[in-house]
Amino acid sequence: MTVATSLIPGLDDIVRRGDPRRRGEIASAIAALFFRDASRLRPELIDLFDNLLIDLVPHAELASRVDLAERFSLLDNAPPHLVRQLARENEIMVAAPVLRRSPVLDDAALVEIARLKGQGHLLAMTERPTLSADVTDVLVERGDRDVVRRAAGNAGAMFSAGGYSELIKRASQDGVLTLKIGQRKDLSGEHLKELLDGTLDVVRRRLSTVADPARQAEIKRAMIAIEEAALPPGPRRDFSAAQRTVLGLHRGGHLGESALLGFAKAHKYEESVAALSAMSGVRLPILDRLISGDRYDPILILGRLLNLGWPTVRALILMWNGPNRTPADADLEQARVNFTRLMPITAERVVNFWRNRQTI
């Protein structure tokens, strides 16, 4: 019982023994007085209303509590103790309005409630116009899938470095969460790279289509870094001179099968791969990794896509083997048969997959 309720004759008796409907009526009547002059109330009067309502509202009917929570949630000078009391209610219909938008709730109250209450309370918090990193740390730690998705999609939410790391860890199993994180304006380049490195190609492609142009460029840079980090250890080939040669041929209109055949016959690996990259549209580091593998299948696929003749494909296979290794005639014949049987549509599908790895 507060001092305020004891000062009003009969009110303390209503608080102690009145039925819920009567308590709700009294609470609504007192709240109506507050709402009528809310913008002009001095702090001491707000405290008086706070002390009156905090005894009445918890015992009122659900409908009355929901109505009062909705109305008080819109005021920046609502009775603070009452608002915190409403926010802690187990009945989510009462707690949700003030958790969603009441400016009276501070971070300390939100963190406390987020640590103690259930997912409905956490979900309501994610709709606040702004969320501090202290609050989102708890939401990410305790929240279920819907809570975390909603928090990540809130443009007014802030996340600590640890919060972002936890978000990204959870996004590895949640494509929707990946898309929401990937579109955040405050996502750092390192966190973007970490996000992309742990998700599926199809999600990466989807993110690239929904992101703004600036983020699309960041995604492309991040994917290049991821691809290069995945290259096998050891000395990297220097393609700069080969690229200049191929660019000169292209500008002069001489980049084609004849030039490629010449490079392959001369065992010029860098020039051959640079030419294949320019002709096929597959980025050079990806193509280098594919062709330098332990199978020559990528050469057959590129040859079919580019409609190369068997002599050119054969020269590329010999180059792939190296100048000091000559494949058996039977192996070359098997390669020719495989090349002949390879359907152009199949080659195009595979190369499109390689291209998508660089444009997502």
pLDDT bin (cut points 50, 70, 90) of residue 238 is confident
Average pLDDT over residues 207-217: 83
Check pLDDT > 80 for residue 200: no
Check pLDDT > 90 for residue 246: yes
Check pLDDT > 50 for residue 7: no
Q: Indicate the DSSP class of residue 344.
A: H
Of 111-125, 162-176, 312-326, where does the model show the most confidence? Answer: 111-125
Check pLDDT > 60 for residue 347: yes
Q: What is the pLDDT of residues 26-75, one digit of tens each?
A: 888 888 889 888 888 899 989 988 988 988 888 888 988 999 999 999 99
Check pLDDT > 60 for residue 243: yes
Average pLDDT over residues 264-281: 93
pLDDT at 58: 85
DSSP 62-84: HHHHHHHHHHHTT-TTS-HHHHH
Q: What is the phi/psi pair of residue 158, to 5°?
A: -110, 145
- Judge contact between 246 and 278, C-beta under 8 A: yes
pLDDT bin (cut points 50, 70, 90) of residue 16 is low
Check pLDDT > 70 for residue 245: yes
pLDDT bin (cut points 50, 70, 90) of residue 18 is low
Lowest average pLDDT, out of 3-17, 21-35, 90-104, 265-279, goes to 3-17
Tell me which amino acid residue 2 is. T
Average pLDDT over residues 237-259: 92
pLDDT bin (cut points 50, 70, 90) of residue 202 is confident
Mean pLDDT, rounded, of the chain: 87
Lowest average pLDDT, out of 153-167, 252-266, 280-294, goes to 280-294
Which is more confident, 196 or 108?
108
Structure-token pair, residue 304: 């079919």
pLDDT bin (cut points 50, 70, 90) of residue 227 is low
pLDDT at 3: 40
Which is more confident, 202 or 352?
352
Check pLDDT > 50 for residue 1: no
The answer to whether the pTM exceeds 0.85 is: no
pLDDT bin (cut points 50, 70, 90) of residue 19 is low
pLDDT bin (cut points 50, 70, 90) of residue 6 is very low
Lowest average pLDDT, out of 81-85, 148-152, 198-202, 320-324, goes to 198-202
DSSP 24-59: HHHHHHHHHHHHHTGGG--HHHHHHHHHHHHHHGGG
Collapsed DSSP state (helix, strand, coil) of residue 287: helix
Check pLDDT > 90 for residue 144: yes
* Closest listed residue to residue 222, CA positions, set 258, 254, 190: 190
pLDDT at 89: 96
Which is more confident, 219 or 347?
347
Q: What are the C-alpha distances in Å from 206 to residues 184, 201, 203, 228, 340?
A: 15, 9, 5, 22, 35
pLDDT at 9: 46
